[in-house]
Amino acid sequence: MHPRRVADDACGIAQAAAVVGDWWSLLVLREVARGHVRFDRLATELSVSRKVLAERLRTLTEHGVLERRLYQERPPRHEYVLTEQGRGLLPTLVSLQDWADRWLLGDGTLSGGASDEGAEARRVASLAGERVPAGLRLPGPGGRAYDPVAAAARATVLFTYPATGVPGVPADVTAPAVPGSAGCTLENRQFRAAWPRFQAEGIAVHGVSTQTPQEQAAFARAEDLPFPLLSDERLQLTAALRLPTFRAGQSLRVKRLVLVVGPDRVVRHVLFPVGDIPAAVRQALDLGREPG
């Protein structure tokens, strides 16, 4: 046996590449994470031949990355959803996107901010009209799993941010030294101050970051926030919407943006990049008032 093959047998990178290491397999995973789980929709989104798609879906299913579920009996139709093993690949997908945003589509600068031009801004702007996948749940207050979209609300304002401060610890100690990443505590306070107006209009507000549920809960208690902070620690929402990220230390952080989502789960409006936080809060309220 070739020596390289013996080494590959014990190499996690080689073993992973054998399962998801080609173009179409990665893009199939990207689309399934976005909520496109049926064969015809996948074929349309990817513009791929049905033969190639069937082969990739079979491989990913055989390796336990996807699960095939019957959703129609006559004729039999199946959808493909991520298994727990498959969801473990979401950080890899997001890391690949983050790397490409910085090094292939950007100039290599590490920043928590963003330009209002370029590939990243275009991708985020294209979220308008997209749906937040049904069934997606994020940990929130009290250990409860929250739907990011409040179905009973007139609209849901989802604001994402890199990271809040840690109660009792000076901000200069906890803040990552990445340009554009500061100000998250201010952002939460601005939404807190405006909360009565959002509530009066029947508009839900959810804050989202990749911090742990425990970190979110501690900050929410310290700041007496009236709206839930949801943890996307496992990058489910980030992967589903292909949200912009940056790496601070060893952690992936979501950049600051605001989405206004209707009760039908369709993203109505996107604010990105967010530079003027108070103005973004006012604009989110105005956009949330608009009829769907």
Query: What CATH number has the domain bearing residue 54?
Result: 1.10.10.10
Minimum mean pLDDT among 68-72, 114-118, 162-166, 286-290: which range? 162-166
| Integer Cα distance of 234 and 187 in angstroms | 23
166 and 284 together in one domain: yes
Is residue 216 a part of any domain in this protein? yes
166 and 270 together in one domain: yes
| Integer Cα distance of 243 and 92 in angstroms | 14
Across all residues in the chain, what is the average pLDDT?
Answer: 92
161 and 240 together in one domain: yes
Amino acid at site 271: L
131 and 65 together in one domain: no
On the question of pLDDT at 99 being above 60, the answer is yes
Please report which confidence band the pLDDT of residue 292 belongs to, taking 50, 70 and 90 as the band edges. confident
Question: Got the DSSP string for 257-286?
Answer: EEEEE-TTSBEEEEE-S---HHHHHHHHHH
State what percent of residues in the chain have pLDDT above 90: 84
Q: What residues make up the domain containing 63?
A: 3-87
pLDDT at position 10: 87
Number of domains in the chain: 2
pLDDT at position 80: 98
Radius of gyration, alpha carbons of the chain: 20
Is residue 100 a part of any domain in this protein? no
194 and 49 together in one domain: no
pLDDT at position 184: 86
On the question of pLDDT at 260 being above 80, the answer is yes
pLDDT at position 4: 55
CA 258 to each of CA 73, 156, 204, 254, 288: distance values in angstroms, whole numbers, following the listed order = 40, 10, 13, 11, 11
Q: Which residues contact 191 (CB under 8 A, 6 or more apart)?
A: 157, 159, 198, 205, 207, 227, 281
CATH code: domain of residue 179: 3.40.30.10
DSSP designation for 131: B
The predicted-structure confidence for 38-91, as pLDDT tens digits, reads as follows 999 999 999 999 999 999 999 999 999 999 999 999 899 999 999 999 999 999
pLDDT at position 171: 52
Is residue 97 a part of any domain in this protein? no
On the question of pLDDT at 177 being above 80, the answer is no
Q: Which residues contact 123 (CB under 8 A, 6 or more apart)?
A: 242, 244
Mean pLDDT across the stretch 197-203? 98
Mean pLDDT across the stretch 3-18? 82
CA 177 to chain centre: 23
Mean pLDDT across the stretch 247-254? 90
pTM for the model: 0.92
On the question of pLDDT at 276 being above 60, the answer is yes
